[in-house]
Amino acid sequence: MHKLALFILSALLLQGCYEFTKPSNELKRILQEGKIVIATEYGANSYFLQNDIPSGFEYELASGFAQFIGVELEIKPFYNNSLMLKQLQNENIDIIASQFSFAPETLNQYKLGPAYQYYSQQVVIHRSQRKLSDINDISGKVYVQRYSQQAAIMQKHHKSVDVNRLNWQQVEQYDDEELLLLVAERKIDATIANSALVNVMRRRYPEIKMGLDLETSSAQHWLMHINQDDSLLGALLEYFGELQSSGEFSRLQEKYFGHIREFDYVDTRAFIAAIETDLPQYQPWFEQYSGNFDWQLLAATSYQESHWEKHARSPTGVRGLMMLTLPTAKEVGITSRLDPEQSIRGGATYLRNLYDRIPARISDPDKIYFALAAYNLGLGHVEDARVLTQRKGFDPDLWVDVKQHLPLLKQKKYYQNARYGFARGDVAVKYVENIRRYYDSLMYITNATASAEESEIDIN
């Protein structure tokens, strides 16, 4: 243990200058092969395909690590966690990078990377059910995944089970997302899931709710083979240390989790209904005029602006699907703000103009977030917020930092020194976060619909 502590301390002290020129064993093998094999699970918080492009929090972390040590990444996504563990035991993969909450006894069989996230575990029930006062109040049919921390929790609290009141099972045929869907469809009475996944999935399945927060802190680690030497662990320590110090880890957390903490059941239900009833008449124009943006982003912006009501009008005089001002309409060359096609074309042009005026050094998705904030607030106020962010010692090119300072433009001591003066920055922050939530839901629903249609075509 003393030697391991010295190794970890040395790795941290050498952060930023370790060249990996003399690695031992495992890391040396990976560098010589020029490839690292990292496994993860399919899912909203780990790995998924968005417009056929690999995405996901764990995928981006894995891709960053491969780049950090200068090798290619081979990502292996799994549907079955036990198979993923077996592949690591057989040394067919180098690392498991997963949002799955493995049971403590499972983690003890592997070498763990540094802890990089902490979640609570939540009992999830149908919205029609009453909240629970204690875990022992769980009743009915309860499924949790095998090898999971959730299964360990159930074993701990229900050693002697009243089979007439509670029927809980460890399952492998369903993943965590599917278990939440079973709760939403009332096919089971409850499951347990980590808080981050619940926050994401209730946007897709609004009928689920948190019945009890177990306040059980769950640390996320990457897993390696128990017999590995510490060379790969040392590289991981340096990588995650650099992610934290550079602000990149905060940016990734903001991208995938920063907008999902708030939830409005009524609004979510209304949005899902509008996708079915209102969106089809406008979708062809969103697709036609979206340009380099995802059409779903343009549609989400329109829903935030007008709830897809073509005759929408605000007290300030903005009108139409994209809620354009009269000067903006003239600027983008449209003659009728109430004409749906013209409004969508004009809104898309205006959003693109704002996007192009954001400094080129800012990368997506932050650049898109700034453009959306400017659509709501005006580019000048967004620039004021970026200047204020920098003055306070934060990064003006990161949305995660700027969104903390935008609301300050409502305070006299800040806006009196700002070039463009007073602004309701808190409204702009909520505006952007709402669009991001609508966009996520719309991407999921439209992709799921497209997959179902392809499957039907294949069958026929």
The per-residue pLDDT for range 248-268, each reduced to its tens digit, is: 999 998 888 888 777 888 899
Supply the pLDDT for residue 171.
Answer: 92
Residue pLDDT, tens place only, 40-65: 999 888 998 876 788 899 999 999 99
Q: Domain check: are 290 and 203 in the same one?
A: no
* 9 — pLDDT class (breaks 50, 70, 90): very low
Segments forming the whole domain that contains residue 307: 265-444
Q: Which helix (H) or strand (E) holds 133?
A: none
Domains held by the chain: number: 3
Q: Which residues contact 134 (CB under 8 A, 6 or more apart)?
A: 212
Residue 456 lies in a domain: no
Supply the pLDDT for residue 135.
Answer: 83
Q: What is the mean pLDDT of residues 104-130?
A: 92
DSSP string, 398-448: -HHHHHHHGGGGGSHHHHTTSTT----HHHHHHHHHHHHHHHHHHHHHHHH
Q: Domain check: are 281 and 399 in the same one?
A: yes
Alpha carbons 323 and 317: distance in angstroms, whole number: 9
Q: Domain check: are 424 and 299 in the same one?
A: yes
Catalytic residues: 305
* 451 pLDDT more than 90: no
**Which of 233, 257, 281 is the last residue in one of the domains?**
257
Supply the pLDDT for residue 67.
Answer: 96
Task: Report the relative pairing of strands 208-213 and 121-126 from DSSP bridges.
Answer: antiparallel
CATH number at residue 193: 3.40.190.10
Residue 455 lies in a domain: no
User: Residues of the chain with pLDDT > 70: what percent?
Assistant: 90
Least confident of 63-67, 123-127, 132-136, 445-449: 445-449
Q: How distant, in Å, are the alpha carbons of 10, 122, 139, 153, 169 from that of 136?
A: 47, 14, 8, 11, 16
Q: What is the mean pLDDT of residues 28-47?
A: 93
DSSP letter (8 states) at residue 358: S
Q: Domain check: are 247 and 294 in the same one?
A: no
Residue 275 lies in a domain: yes
Q: Domain check: are 98 and 236 in the same one?
A: yes
Q: Domain check: are 160 and 64 in the same one?
A: no
Q: Domain check: are 182 and 270 in the same one?
A: no
Nearest to 176 by CA among 135, 218, 122: 122
Residue 449 lies in a domain: no
Residue 207 lies in a domain: yes
* 3 pLDDT more than 50: no
Residue 460 lies in a domain: no
Residue 452 lies in a domain: no
Alpha carbons 26 and 40: distance in angstroms, whole number: 20
Q: Domain check: are 205 and 91 in the same one?
A: no
Nearest to 244 by CA among 54, 95, 61: 61
* 16 pLDDT more than 70: no
Residue pLDDT, tens place only, 375-389: 999 999 999 999 999
Q: Domain check: are 194 and 312 in the same one?
A: no
**Which of 202, 232, 257 is the last residue in one of the domains?**
257
153 CA to centre of own chain: 26
Q: Domain check: are 12 and 101 in the same one?
A: yes
Q: Domain check: are 292 and 381 in the same one?
A: yes
Nearest to 437 by CA among 114, 149, 141, 201: 201
Residue 454 lies in a domain: no
Whether 232 and 27 have beta carbons less than 8 Å apart is answered as yes
Supply the pLDDT for residue 5.
Answer: 43
Q: Domain check: are 53 and 88 in the same one?
A: yes
CATH number at residue 352: 1.10.530.10
* 448 pLDDT more than 90: no
